[in-house]
């Protein structure tokens, strides 16, 4: 398990730290330092609120190694209120209750577990807004 590869993403995983384009004001997540809308340099940090809606979704029945512990799980594309779309698991909801357009909010949960001796990775998941 790559420790530094995960550690350096702490700001994104725990705070949804993205960027704002100084040229056209587009909000960017995941951060990429170049605005995908106008191609201007965009390194100004901008924390997203973590509120949005389900854009698409599926349920993973055959998980990759490290993700067996909570399979089957729902993975969704979330369209955040500020504009960006991201990929995340849904939590606190049954697969059959998920629908496109459902309002959701970010929470911090365990993403990955490599067994008793291995590393545990935490990060954002999304749950329905009651």
Partner 1 sequence: MTHTAIIGIGQTNVSEAWDTSLRHLAWYAIEAALDDAKLSQREIDAVYVGNMLAGRGSNQRHLGALIADFSGMRGTEAIVVESAEASGAAALRQAIFAVSSGQIDTALVVGVEKASDTTGNDFEAALATSLDVEYEQAHGLTTAAQAALLMQRYMHEYGVELGAFAKFSENAHANGAKNPLAMYRNVLKPGRFEIAPTVAPPVSLFDAAPAGDGGACVIVTRTDRAMEMAAEPILIRASATATDTLALHDRRDMLWLQAAALSSQAAFAQAGLAHADIDLFELHDGYTILAAMSLEAAGFAERGAGTTWDGTMPLSSFGGLKARGNPLGATGVYQAVEAARQLRGQAADCQIENVRTVMTQNLGGLAATAITHVFSLV
Residues that bind partner 1 (CB under 8 A): 5-6, 9, 12-13, 30, 36-37, 55-68, 73, 75-77, 84-89, 100, 111-112, 121, 123
CA 101, 107, 67: angle at the middle one, nearest 5? 90
User: What are the distances in angstroms from CA 2 to CA 16, 69, 121?
Assistant: 21, 19, 10
- Nearer to partner 1 (CB atom), residue 100 or residue 129: 100
Residue 41 as a binder of Zn ion (CB under 5 A): the answer is no
Could you tell me how many residues make up the chain?
Answer: 130
Residue 28 as a binder of Zn ion (CB under 5 A): the answer is no
Partner touching 51 among Zn ion, partner 1, none, CB below 5 to 8 Å by kind: none
Which residues are at the interface with Zn ion (CB under 5 A)?
Answer: 21, 23-24, 26, 35, 37-38, 40
């Amino acid at each position: 398990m790559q420790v530094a590869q995960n550690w350096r993403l702490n700001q994104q995983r725990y705070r949804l730290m993205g960027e704002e384009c100084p040229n056209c004001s587009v909000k960017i997540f995941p951060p990429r330092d170049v605005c995908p809308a106008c191609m201007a340099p965009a390194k100004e940090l901008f924390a997203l609120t973590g509120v949005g809606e389900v854009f698409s979704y599926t349920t993973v029945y055959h998980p990759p190694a490290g993700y067996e512990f909570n399979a089957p799980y729902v993975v969704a594309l979330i369209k955040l209120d500020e504009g960006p779309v991201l990929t995340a698991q849904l939590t606190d909801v049954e697969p059959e209750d998920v629908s496109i357009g459902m309002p959701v909010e970010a929470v911090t949960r365990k993403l990955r577990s490599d067994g008793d001796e291995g590393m545990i990775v935490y990060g954002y998941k999304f749950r329905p807004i009651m």
